[in-house]
Structure 1
């Protein structure tokens, strides 16, 4: 049997309804987990800006959107003094439930390593909220180092859910 092909590309404005559908599904799934902080409703303008700036991505499996995520190159309120490092920050990974269990995080890591090498970026980073041991294990199994749980000093301009729990920080040093 032939496996459907996987590709990663920038999201486009015509993907925005699917992106928000996946965010909604992720939020509903998070509500079923007692240790997980639930994503708020994100602003459409945020995602539109990410698309225009080519910072919103999709993983296609056989032509279907299987997973989406966004990136930034600065994340000062979360990473504080570490923000001075050359880094790519991955945010809001949301998987289409039709494709769960396919370990897309490892595919995102492979993509991010190539992206970081091309752009001469040292670190690949992401965060999650709360003490979600299964997600911590999933990210470490995908190649991230777990740096620990931290209380953020300033959450003023972060989405509301960052005020609800300590943040778990993860990174991959591309030079290690």
Structure 2
């Protein structure tokens, strides 16, 4: 297993995993994500924010890391933190606890970058996912409402979100 930054040639794999994640969310009754713009994801890859987990030459999981998330975390965004977003797992690799592996990777990165927190968010009301994140070591910090923010993906607009964090 290798965790590394994604490259431009990974764009189609990212988009495919996002589409599969959306289909899975719908199949379990948690239609959280609506979709992502190819050009926005490409820009994230070019900005070295997108990562991938590779197993036996196949992309098993993708995720996004940022060091700022002011729309969601408001004044807490000033804290030294790394934010995990959009974890999407290849269905062929489901059940391998990638979130825990991502956390281990991000903890090492956070220590190198002198960050205090690892944070993430998910749509409120998804108890199964919330419980999983708690088992991974996150604590629920808050539930927030985001109203009409054009700078965010559509699924963030006019929705409730659970905020999670852990100390590094």
Aligned to 1:69, the other structure's residue is in SS state: strand
What's the CA shift string for 1:3-48, capped at 9, x where partnerless?
xxx11001111111011000000011111233x2431221122211
Q: Which runs of 4+ in 1 moved over 6 A?
A: none
In the alignment, is the contact (CA less than 8 A) between 2:148 and 2:157 conserved in 1?
no
Alignment length, in residue pairs?
168
Distance in 1, Cα, partners of 2:38 & 2:135: 32
**Equivalence for 2:13:** 18
What SS does the aligned partner of 2:159 have? coil
Deviation at 1:155, TM superposition (A): 2.5
Q: TM-score, normalised by structure 2?
A: 0.94
- Given that residues 58 and 66 in structure 1 are in contact (C-alpha distance below 8 angstroms), is that contact kept between their aligned partners in structure 2? yes
| Residue 76 of structure 2 corresponds to residue 86 of structure 1 | no
Q: How much is the aligned-residue C-alpha RMSD, in angstroms?
A: 1.4
Which residue of 166, 169, 175 corresponds with 2:160?
166
CA 1:173/1:154 → structure 2, altered by over 3 Å: closer, same or farther? farther
Match of 1:29 in 2: 24
1:61-97 C-alpha deviation (Å, 9 max, x unpaired): 1221110001111111111111111111111100000
Q: Write the distance in 2 (CA, Å) between the matches of 1:74 and 1:105.
A: 20
Question: Which residue matches 2:111?
Answer: 117
Whole-angstrom distance in 2 between the partners of 1:53 and 1:170: 25
For structure 2, the 5+ residue unaligned runs are: none
* Cα distance in 1, alignment partners of residues 46 and 153 from structure 2: 21
Q: Cα–Cα, structure 1 residues 153 and 40, in superposed 2: closer, same or farther, change >3 Å?
A: closer
C-alpha separation between the residues in 1 aligned to 2:70 and 2:138?
Answer: 20
Structure 1 unaligned residues grouped into runs of 5+: 1-5
Which of 51, 54, 60 pairs up with 2:54? 60
Q: Distance in 1 between matches of 2:111 and 2:134?
A: 21
Give the structure 2 partner of residue 3 of structure 1.
none
